[in-house]
Chains A and B, each alone.
Chain A
């Protein structure tokens, strides 16, 4: 396939078009992504998450600059929330990454969450794979960490760097909100601001109470705008990568992610099959019966499921 050839030879224009296709029409994109799959798996995927304004984009920019000096190529997927009311999104992460935009060793793509509650875009996984095939060594995924996003990001990233900052009022709430669970490395950015030391101490204390994993997340201080602490952060990323490899956890995580992906995709597939195989007239009839109390919804669903399962085991699965 010509498109595949071009992407693995580094054609950023074709890569950009394929990302758009994955966002707009995933069914069609799958036909290409399946051919691309064998060219992926070489990049290290790092999730950068945390509350808005903590400095995720600034840190990603600084990390990328350091990696470029080491000769590494970088892909960045920067995700911002889509408005649930208008469907529009203001994607502003590039403001902090201006110097990177003409570097041919860097590819940045901004995306809206497009209705995904998890904070990731539905096309995030596809985009990561496209950038991987494009030859990027390290891929950063920047997402706003609120609630569910943290759980989502571990499906796609090999490791997660959690960024927070002092002075957010309810510091400790943010840490409690499940975020600690998924951060492999914890960063307190804006160390030039008041309250940094206290926040670090609080985080360390929480870690003392939660010694559940073999890996204790290091807690780092950075001043991203002045490029302070970035080398140390890179060092910790390397340490963690070493740990993931040596402990076999990287393998394990990737297998776990693959399992989740299969489950997600199969759910999507079945939703599609369902909505195309139950016709509306039939549905209306049952609904009318339910409203008149001639039938209850529980029994109706049970019956319907049996009919569907029966029809698919009779050879209707070739969809």
Chain B
């Protein structure tokens, strides 16, 4: 009877330009059988977290191009904590330096995928994390 589907919020926080990367990932996840909630550009951390709660997603995938990740990611983790949301896996993608990835993982980002990552690896990661 269980018809569980993995639900993923693909969001693009920050003010920088296009969302090509986010869209590619969103389509790949859909093709892997997931339900992808796509919210468009320029999402604030508050919007992302509130959307994740209402949509009851298993995963938040954040796509960032600019260097804004150093404050946007922590703010999102903070808001999740404030709202007592403990069951959402947060992953990130974008041009993010190695040493920052280490810091992001320390605050609870499950994984960071840098450009060139095969979408298959992202899919596999999510499927293993969400049981």
* Chain A interface residues (CB < 8 Å from chain B): 12-13, 16-17, 19-20, 23-28, 82-83, 86-92, 94-95, 98, 101-102, 107-112, 114
Contacts and interface: CB of A to CB of B under 8 A. Distances in A.
A154 to B, nearest CB: 25
Interface in B11-55: 26-27, 29-40, 42-44, 46-47, 50-51, 53-55
Contacts of A112: 5, 35
Nearest to B43: A98
Contact of B54 (A82, A87, A95, A109): A109
A90 B22 CA distance: 12
A83 B46 contact: no
A109 B9 CA distance: 12
A25 B1 contact: yes
A84 B83 CA distance: 35
Given A91-B36, A92-B38, A98-B43, A86 B31 contact: yes
A-B pairs with the 10 shortest C-beta distances?
A88-B30, A95-B40, A16-B56, A87-B33, A88-B33, A101-B47, A20-B56, A24-B4, A92-B38, A90-B30
Interface of chain A, main secondary structure: mixed
A16 B50 CA distance: 11
Contacts of A87: 5, 33
Contacts of B56: 16-17, 19-20
A25 B2 contact: yes
Interface of B: 1-5, 7, 26-27, 29-40, 42-44, 46-47, 50-51, 53-56, 83-85
7 contacts: A83-B31, A87-B5, A88-B29, A89-B30, A91-B37, A101-B47, A102-B50
Nearest to A101: B47
Contacts of A13: 53, 83-85
Nearest to A96: B40
B40 A94 contact: yes
B51 A94 contact: yes
A16 B32 contact: no
B2 A24 contact: yes
Contacts of B40: 92, 94-95, 98
B32 A88 contact: yes
Contact of B32 (A12, A86, A107): A86
A47 B27 CA distance: 28
Given A24-B5, A25-B3, A102-B46, A88 B35 contact: yes
